[in-house]
Structure 1
Amino acid sequence: MSQPTATPPARWWQSLILAIQFLTRLPTPQLRTFHPEWLAASARWFAPVGLLLGSLLWLAVWLGSLHDPWLGALAGLLLWIGITGGLHLDGLADLSDAMGAAHRSRERFFEVLKDPHVGSFGVIALICAIVSKLVLLMLLASQPQKLPGLLLLPAWARLFALFWSATLPPLAPGSGERFAWQPQWRAQAIGLLALLGLSLWLAPALLLAPLAALLWRGWLKRKLGGMTGDCLGAGIEVCEILLLGLLLLPVPLLRA
């Protein structure tokens, strides 16, 4: 009987393409082969892909705000949702439905979480998230000096997803569990240092960004005891909203 062959490691460009394909709807070359283990390896590119998203987001908001802050906010929001394909919004809706309908029943929670239909709790969460982002983007567009923070915001949120998947036990099979296969501690450390340095330069308020990651992790640990792929996606949405609010805070001491 022949022995099963080991999965070949993904090359750097293969894992980069996978990260772009997973996190965005941007066109990429198609890979001829794929192994589930490669998805975990692609996580080391999450923060750089977030920087790409942030660059496009900043450009859309800046161009639109040249005419009107509301136009800049709308352009940024539509691009944000369009490029990500609503991937993380879907996680937020699923988690909201599961939490709202679970009634402290663990079995009911996972039953609703797997349901592809969106319920009333999910719809309410989506409306709140989209309206929050639109209003906060408008407020940022009204203060052009704070717009550079948009370059870093998606990168921070996607780096958080690596932290959550590495430090919380998976509750169910899926993408969240796959990311936990390879925690990517080195990539997390490099990403953290890089984003702290860029935040100090472009948006000092984002030096407090890791607090948002800790808050969401604490909530997941207390409420669920672990994480799923939907928990990661919902966390990205929640933290992006928190960081948008953080960008609006005055930080005179950090700029001195």
Structure 2
Amino acid sequence: MRSLILAIQFLTRLPTPQLKTFDPAWLADAARWFAPVGLLVGAAVWLAVLAGSLLDPWLAALLGLLAWLWVTGGLHIDGLADLADAQGAAHRSRERFLEVLKDPHLGSFGVLAMASQLLAKLVLLMLVVKHALPSPDALRVSGLAALAAGLAPLLLVPAWARLFTVAWSATLPSLAPGSGERFAWRTHWASFWLSAALLAAASWWLAPALLLAPLAGLWWWAYLRHKLGGMTGDCLGAGIELCESLLLLLLLVH
């Protein structure tokens, strides 16, 4: 249970039992739980969106976005902002890239990336809600159950995105010490493929378009491999954010 607790503590703000000791090497074991923890993130978003959908799609999107930010503590969008700043200031210098990446201050590129991502998620969530709303006849017959079922694919979006980090960290060289490098100390391919199979089965049942989700993960892997030559923890967080937006877009496919 220690690795599960660590995964929840690292990826979310959800309350967990406190561990008396900590070893950075334990993070490698925690990675096996990233997809299940992603389902917890998805559950928080789904509940918030469901509640807001009873009144208005835009309210649902806003509540869903706030829930997403709250449950993750803004961890991944911070990585996206840091990566944008580093790429904007690097001017093809690897040393400058890593220097800016470690800088805790937020620059203009980071602000633009963060604002764009928040707006993208807000609009995409609103469109997902409108897309999922049942017809008036179905809503009269099954009520809240029909709406909840229509929004259920939201549960899978954070799970897919977090599963990808296991593959990214295991197959890309680390550019700097940190959490991303620690995840690669030990890779649990058996649990990775089991999680992928279960998510694929759930996607086929709830939203077949999400069967294309691995293409989003492959796209970000290729970008990191050819553009940066490796990964850091911020690169993994940025990938989670961008893949989540791409998967929300997939949910709009009929």
Which of 106, 115, 125 is equivalent to 1:137? 125
Provide the rounded CA distance (Å) in 2 between the counterparts of 1:52 and 1:120.
Answer: 32
Provide the rounded CA distance (Å) in 1 between the counterparts of 2:206 and 2:89.
Answer: 42
Instruction: Tell me if 1:104 matches 2:92.
Output: yes
Which of 231, 234, 245 is equivalent to 1:230? 234
Which residue does the alignment assign to 1:180?
Answer: 184
Which residue does the alignment assign to 2:164?
Answer: 160
Write the letter of the residue equivalent to 2:56: D
Which residue does the alignment assign to 2:143?
Answer: none
Q: Is the 8 A contact 2:82 2:110 kept in 1?
A: yes
Which residue does the alignment assign to 2:61?
Answer: 73
Which deviations, in whole Å up to 9, do the C-alpha atoms of 1:184-239 show, x marking residues without a partner? Answer: 11111111101000000111110000000000000001111110000000000000
Instruction: Tell me if 1:243 matches 2:247.
Output: yes
Q: Is the 8 A contact 2:90 2:97 kept in 1?
A: yes
* Deviation, structure 1 residue 143: 2.2
Instruction: Tell me if 1:169 matches 2:173.
Output: yes
Provide the rounded CA distance (Å) in 2 between the counterparts of 1:68 and 1:57.
Answer: 16
Moved more, 31-40 or 81-90: 31-40
* Deviation, structure 1 residue 144: 2.4
Which of 1, 5, 29 is equivalent to 1:17? 5
TM-score (norm. length: structure 2): 0.92
Which residue does the alignment assign to 1:31?
Answer: 19
TM-score (norm. length: structure 1): 0.92
Paired residues, number: 238
Secondary structure, in 3 states, of the residue corresponding to 2:184?
helix
Which of 143, 147, 154 is equivalent to 1:150? 154
Write the letter of the residue equivalent to 1:154: P
Secondary structure, in 3 states, of the residue corresponding to 2:82?
helix
Write the letter of the residue equivalent to 2:113: A
Provide the rounded CA distance (Å) in 1 between the counterparts of 2:218 and 2:124.
Answer: 22
Provide the rounded CA distance (Å) in 2 between the counterparts of 1:205 and 1:148.
Answer: 13
Secondary structure, in 3 states, of the residue corresponding to 1:181?
coil
Percent identity over the alignment? 68
User: What stretches of structure 2 of length at least 5 have no aligned partner?
Assistant: 134-149
* Deviation, structure 1 residue 99: 0.3
Write the letter of the residue equivalent to 2:40: L
Provide the rounded CA distance (Å) in 1 between the counterparts of 2:80 and 2:151.
Answer: 25
| Deviating 4+ runs (over 6 angstroms) | none
